[in-house]
Chains A and B, each alone.
Chain A
Amino acid sequence: MKLRLSLAVPVAVVSGVVTLLAFFIRVEPLTTVFPVLLQWAATLAAIALLAGIVNLMSVHIRKVSAFSAGWAYSAVLVIAFVFVIFMWLLGYAAAFAPDEPTRADVIKLSQESLNVAFQFVQTPVEASLSALLVVVMVLAGARLIRARRHWSAVLFILVSLFLLVSLAPLGPLSFAQGLRDLLIQPLAMGAARGILLGIALGAVATGLRVIIGVDHPYGD
């Protein structure tokens, strides 16, 4: 563990320094190394994604085989994964079809199955989760004053009301839309800029800590 950490830190530091310098200084060694490092990073990210998928599957498969709590959900996940992988591989297998129509049918079958799974399964599911978020937020807003008896809560509710109404105002309240652009936009934009600056500065500090070896997000 110490040896691994002792090697990871200098590698991370060197890579970070080179990439940072190459971004600002366009010199030949740096411009040559910089794309290589980026490609390695992209490749490693793809492999990490693949490793994550494999780990996920193994966990759920173990859960299903052990019949532990929630094994049914794990089974659904595994089945769906297998189906999708199969269908995608089926599209690649159509190339080995003996004839064109078959290959075309196989490919069509593969694509439509994946599309159906995506359009009618994944997209509605995720959209429904987002819709539930709306309900939760509305209820939270309705209980805000009860939970927090403060003027900020009242102000929040008033602003929320204005925004909701001005986003799709009624006919007679169409001017609300222009008022929204006049009042809310500067206030929100100023706060947003402050947040973005803070985020940027934090990102810079975090990056420097990683570059100088203080933080080790890659290991213990």
Chain B
Amino acid sequence: MCSKLNPDTLDVCQFCGARLRPLVLPPTSALDLPSDWKKPAPPPAPAPEPEPKPAAGKEADDWLGSLRSGTSSFESTPEEPAADSGAAPSVDDWLAKLRAQDETQEAEEEAPQPATEEPAPAQSPEGGDWLGSLRASSAEPDWLSSPVESESQNGEDVNWLQSFGPTDETLIGAVRAPTQPEPPAADSELPEWLRPPSSTDETLVGAVGEPPAAEEPPLPSWLESPVIKKATGPFDKKIPTPIEAPVEPPPPAEPQPKAVLGMTDWLASAESQATPESLDWLTSPPPDEGQKPVVGATDWLQSPESESLPRAELPEWLKPPPSEEGQKPVVGVTSWLASTESAPPPPAPPDAEGKAVIGTTDWLASFQPDSSTPPAKKTGATGWLSSQPPVSTGSTGTLKPSGKSVLGAADWLNSLAASEPAPDAPPAFDAQDFDQAMKSGEPDWVIGNDEDLPDWMKQSPPPAEPTPPETPSASPSARAVVGTTDWLKNFGKVSDEPTPAFDMAAVTGELRETDSSDLDWLASLDKPIEAAAPTRPPIGPLPQPTAAETGPLPPGGEGIENADLPPWLAAMRPTGLDITGAAPLPEAPAIASADLPDWVKPPSGVSTATSISPDETLPGAPSFPSAPSAPLPSAAAFTEAPAGEDITQAVVPLWLRQMRPPDSQAAILALEPEREETAGPLAGMRGILPAESVIAVAGKPGSAVAQFLISDAQERRAEMLRAIIQEETAEPAEIRPRKRARIHYSFGRLIVALMLIAVAILPLLPPVAAYLPIGLFPFPELSSGGRPLFQTIEALPSDQPPLALIAFEYEPAYTGELNPIIESVLAHLMKRGARIAAVSTYPTGALIAQNVMDRVAAESGVAEGYGKSYINLGYIPGGATGLQHFATAPTATILRDFSGGEKPFEREALTGFTGLENFDLIIVVSASHDDAQRWIGQVKREGQPMSAITSAAAEPLVAPFTGGDTPPITGLVSGLAGAIGYDRATGRASESAAQAAIRWNSFAISLHASAAILVGGALLSVFALIGQRRTAAQPAAPLASPAPVSPTVRRRATKTGAAKIARPKARKK
């Protein structure tokens, strides 16, 4: 829970109280298990003779039962464990322990629930409840504690492996002979299925159906190891290869090794039962006398070096390299794993007992207890482990193997074995040695010869404590403890010895001397980095910064000595950080060099890397902005650890800590190592990081914020914005009353209009007219277009009054221009005695016609001649359609005249009128060319003259109708000039003519004034353009200051009271 190191002997963490060792299940008898789950009660006594293998059909079902019954050949007699334990009291077969325990439990369960248990089949006489056997045992079964306890009594560390059940009984997966119930042994705490098969009960139930071999086949050589050899007999026996001929089973009378716990029938030793040839390679020779059956081993895994196992011919890939003289042959290893140590002599052939060790490896076989060793209490250690001789520590604290080959181990592991030749007999697993090896922390398999090992593995850590003296039961030769380490030896043991604190200093001291290329950074933590550009993070105290570099400290901060930072970390640190005053960091506890494993220790004679100063930067490292300088934490902060802590607390550099907001720092709760958690699922535990240290504790945000970097442009904009806001708030809104809406007009238009009015009116005034020179503007002559009309009228027949039709196709707006002309023409017609009929397609044209004809008639002396001399036909609706209709059926179109008189075509003025062909002349008076064109298109008949009187604006568009060979328009008179010329041609001396002549000067002057205005305007435009070009050509003056952000906003009150924003007037062009 708290990730702190604890001694191996503890079951509960001393800091947080978490459990370090798992709890062991209660015995099966305490559980309410189904009856079929329960193991059948073991037989009272093992059968002396091995029973034949049961039928194949039943073998499949009873292989577990046979395991429980302990009829396997791997099982040893109940007395054997005692003897074995006496022979090797230090190390017990943990599997055998389990088996023994199981037998004990089964015996206990027989009495209370004999009916619930299934009757043990013939093939599985034991039928014990393995779970019950477990249940019957204590919370910590004996197989888990017995060897340890025995050793603890001797003052040694408990071999946790020894505590795994009875040493001579437990074999995982072992198949028991169905007909041989295993007698309960003194150390039979193990359940049946965990017990090693006895040599007489070796079966291969579940296999091809043949009885197992009497003799277990030998284990492969590569599986042989001192550790494995410590197991019971089956493991020591040679396991033949699949291609090998099966090993002959031992005599039936011989005590059979215990069944291998956990083995299947087909994996059972062939020593006790007939082993099929095809499975001979799986069988292992029976264990040697005094040897305990190997738990969890297979024959083919058996070391070939076991004296009881003939060397099996392994496949090439399993064969060890040819070993040199004196070297241990290693089976199943590669050359680089081959040990350089002196190898023990090859194992002797199986002994008379023919104990086979099925399923064991050499290294497991090496765990068989030595006969010379006192029998260890079966506290649960595995048999194969207990069979190994005890490991003795050497001068350097390294675990030395027993001199036997380590099956499955590397050569360097074998090299760790004792230099002296190994004894002939495979050394039994010595729990005491193993414990010693564990204590020394230098297992053989871990530590090898420095010469052979890689550099990172050469160093052996310093032992945590002095090497305890060897027990008398321990073998003089150091035995390799395969698969164990120093810390393992203390596993399961509750030692009274004080647990040494983790000496970080020792570790760092060791590391400083390390020459490991990968560990220099560890060593350099405690020393300043001397190199200019070290590549590894240093270890050690950081250099103290100078006073100039330090600055104000955050509240609550304490100075921290400079620590040697790695160059890469120092380069990242902002300069000027004040690290002084930061809280001292706890130093790591010192660790004795002896406690550290060799592979952690730096080689001697290697200088450690030096640390760099905080100010130094690596070449090419980025430069960071300056920060308040602070001293770096001291080395003690990095190396010292609080009392009672085994590991060094993580150290945050002061410069990094000072970057944290000060208020948030205050919100952090005190992290006391012994602070007990009071809430949550971790209540009651100590050393827990408080979850609400920073998150839940509210605090003000830090005032010391980072410095904002503002550019000049941003600052200007900010100032501008501030000025705008101040301007808006400072100046009150100016509200002015709304003024009347003014009529906006152009003065130019006014001036021009006044001028034109003046020049048009003044000449009409007599005083002004008198001063005008005569002939200033000479009267015009009859135009070229007016002459044809004149001639046409002159050519009208005189015998009958001609009939003329005049169309008044203009609005009152053009009366000033057209009336003088039409009056002249009408006067000429009336002078000629012609009858005039007027018509119009304009509603007002008829009225205009009426007025003009009346005036002219009065002038001509025919005022009473309406209806006689002239008639007004009125208005013709429909535009062009009406004209077409009028041209087609005039009498049907016009029913009344303009004055309301009925039947106008029957009036004297239109006597003999039958149609438009009766008209001698048609004159169209229009202000636009459309009317003339319409009359030309709708009314004009061939051979009927038609003339036009138009305004000066329509003359260009009507003039084309006067050209050609047969022009549609015979004469064209336009404007005041045409009228004056026609009057001069006709000699009209009337008031209108006089008025027309008077208006001529005004008209001429107006024309010339207009021309003058045009010229003046043009000249002014030219001058303005020239001035603009000159202004544009001049260089632009530089802007002194930027334009104001916003002009003054002035508001005006509207009629309704709402304020309007006055906007600056746009400059007019």
Interface positions of A (Cβ within 8 A of B): 34-35, 38-39, 41-42, 44-46, 49, 91-92, 114-115, 118-119, 122-123, 126-127, 129-130, 132, 134-136, 138-139, 141-146, 149, 154, 157, 160-161, 164-165, 167-171, 174, 177, 181, 185, 188-189, 191-193, 195-196
Partner of A42, one of B811, B893, B957, B1020: B893
**B1016 to chain A: which residues have CB within 8 Å?**
142
Q: Which of the 9-residue segments B151-159, B376-384, B745-753 touches chain A?
A: B745-753
In chain B, residues 845-863, which have Cβ atoms closer than 8 Å to a Cβ of chain A? 847, 851
Check B851–A168 contact: CB distance below 8 A. no
Check B814–A145 contact: CB distance below 8 A. no
In chain B, residues 749-768, which have Cβ atoms closer than 8 Å to a Cβ of chain A? 749, 752-753, 756
Nearest-neighbor residue (CB-CB) of B812 within chain A: A123
Q: Taking the nearest CB of chain B, how far is it from the CB of A168, in angstroms? A: 3
Q: Mark B869-890, 1 if CB is under 8 A from A, else 0.
A: 0000000111101101100110
Complex A-B: 9 CB contacts under 8 Å:
A35-B888, A39-B889, A138-B1010, A139-B748, A170-B1004, A171-B776, A174-B778, A188-B959, A192-B960
In chain B, residues 778-816, which have Cβ atoms closer than 8 Å to a Cβ of chain A? 778, 780, 783-784, 811-816
Partner of A142, one of B783, B882, B1008, B1014: B1014
**A164 to chain B: which residues have CB within 8 Å?**
1007-1008, 1010-1011, 1014
Q: Is B698's beta carbon under 8 Å from chain A? A: no
**A160 to chain B: which residues have CB within 8 Å?**
1011, 1014
Given contacts A118-B812, A126-B811, A192-B960, contact A167 B777 (CB under 8 A): no
Check B753–A92 contact: CB distance below 8 A. no
Q: Which of the 9-residue segments B605-613, B830-838, B1021-1029 touches chain A?
A: B1021-1029
Partner of A122, one of B778, B844, B1014, B1017: B844
Partner of A167, one of B813, B814, B933, B1007: B1007
Q: Taking the nearest CB of chain A, how far is it from the CB of B505, in angstroms? A: 97
Given contacts A127-B815, A154-B1018, A192-B957, contact A142 B844 (CB under 8 A): no
Nearest-neighbor residue (CB-CB) of A156 within chain B: B1014
**B882 to chain A: which residues have CB within 8 Å?**
41-42, 45
Check A130–B752 contact: CB distance below 8 A. no
Q: Taking the nearest CB of chain B, how far is it from the CB of A180, in angstroms? A: 10
Q: Taking the nearest CB of chain A, how far is it from the CB of B876, in angstroms? A: 8
Check B885–A35 contact: CB distance below 8 A. yes
In chain B, residues 978-1010, which have Cβ atoms closer than 8 Å to a Cβ of chain A? 1000, 1003-1004, 1007-1008, 1010
Given contacts A118-B812, A167-B952, contact A185 B877 (CB under 8 A): no
**B956 to chain A: which residues have CB within 8 Å?**
188-189, 191-192
Check A145–B963 contact: CB distance below 8 A. no
Q: Mark B698-741, 1 if CB is under 8 A from A, else 0.
A: 00000000000000000000000000000000000000000000
Check B977–A167 contact: CB distance below 8 A. yes
Q: Taking the nearest CB of chain B, how far is it from the CB of A46, in angstroms? A: 4
**B777 to chain A: which residues have CB within 8 Å?**
168-171
Q: Is B975's beta carbon under 8 Å from chain A? A: yes
Given contacts A138-B1013, A161-B1015, A196-B960, contact A127 B752 (CB under 8 A): no
Q: Taking the nearest CB of chain B, how far is it from the CB of A160, in angstroms? A: 6
Partner of A171, one of B778, B784, B876, B1000: B778
Check A118–B847 contact: CB distance below 8 A. yes
- In the bound assembly, the distance between CA atoms of A185 and B963 in angstroms comes to 12
**A154 to chain B: which residues have CB within 8 Å?**
1018
Given contacts A188-B956, A189-B960, contact A142 B1011 (CB under 8 A): no
Check B881–A145 contact: CB distance below 8 A. no
Given contacts A181-B784, A192-B960, contact A127 B816 (CB under 8 A): yes
**B776 to chain A: which residues have CB within 8 Å?**
170-171
Q: Is B775's beta carbon under 8 Å from chain A? A: yes
Q: Is B1036's beta carbon under 8 Å from chain A? A: no
Nearest-neighbor residue (CB-CB) of B952 within chain A: A167
- In the bound assembly, the distance between CA atoms of A160 and B893 in angstroms comes to 44
- In the bound assembly, the distance between CA atoms of A61 and B271 in angstroms comes to 134
Nearest-neighbor residue (CB-CB) of B882 within chain A: A42
Check B881–A135 contact: CB distance below 8 A. no
Q: Which 5 A-B pairs have the closest CB atoms?
A: A142-B1017, A168-B1004, A126-B813, A146-B1021, A45-B878
Given contacts A35-B885, A35-B888, A141-B1014, 8 further A-B contacts (CB under 8 A): A41-B881, A115-B851, A126-B811, A145-B1025, A146-B1024, A177-B780, A191-B956, A192-B957
- In the bound assembly, the distance between CA atoms of A135 and B755 in angstroms comes to 10
- In the bound assembly, the distance between CA atoms of A139 and B1016 in angstroms comes to 10
- In the bound assembly, the distance between CA atoms of A136 and B776 in angstroms comes to 27
**B1010 to chain A: which residues have CB within 8 Å?**
134, 138, 164
- In the bound assembly, the distance between CA atoms of A10 and B882 in angstroms comes to 23
**A115 to chain B: which residues have CB within 8 Å?**
851
Q: Taking the nearest CB of chain A, how far is it from the CB of B1054, in angstroms? A: 18
Nearest-neighbor residue (CB-CB) of B1009 within chain A: A138
The listed residue with most A CB atoms (<10 A of its CB), out of B749, B777, B1004, B1017, is: B1017
**B1021 to chain A: which residues have CB within 8 Å?**
142-146
Q: Taking the nearest CB of chain B, how far is it from the CB of A218, in angstroms? A: 14
Check B775–A139 contact: CB distance below 8 A. no
- In the bound assembly, the distance between CA atoms of A160 and B847 in angstroms comes to 35
Check A127–B812 contact: CB distance below 8 A. yes
Check B812–A157 contact: CB distance below 8 A. no
Partner of A168, one of B816, B881, B977: B977
**A49 to chain B: which residues have CB within 8 Å?**
843, 877
Check A45–B877 contact: CB distance below 8 A. yes
Q: Taking the nearest CB of chain A, how far is it from the CB of B934, in angstroms? A: 11
**A38 to chain B: which residues have CB within 8 Å?**
878, 881, 884-885, 888
Nearest-neighbor residue (CB-CB) of A193 within chain B: B960
- In the bound assembly, the distance between CA atoms of A92 and B899 in angstroms comes to 10
The listed residue with most A CB atoms (<10 A of its CB), out of B879, B1008, B1022, B1024, is: B1008
The listed residue with most B CB atoms (<10 A of its CB), out of A38, A134, A139, A193, is: A38
- In the bound assembly, the distance between CA atoms of A177 and B779 in angstroms comes to 11
Q: Is B892's beta carbon under 8 Å from chain A? A: yes
Check B893–A135 contact: CB distance below 8 A. no
Nearest-neighbor residue (CB-CB) of B1014 within chain A: A141
Q: Taking the nearest CB of chain B, how far is it from the CB of A41, in angstroms? A: 4
- In the bound assembly, the distance between CA atoms of A129 and B824 in angstroms comes to 25
- In the bound assembly, the distance between CA atoms of A48 and B151 in angstroms comes to 133
Q: Is B900's beta carbon under 8 Å from chain A? A: yes
The listed residue with most B CB atoms (<10 A of its CB), out of A44, A135, A143, A161, is: A135
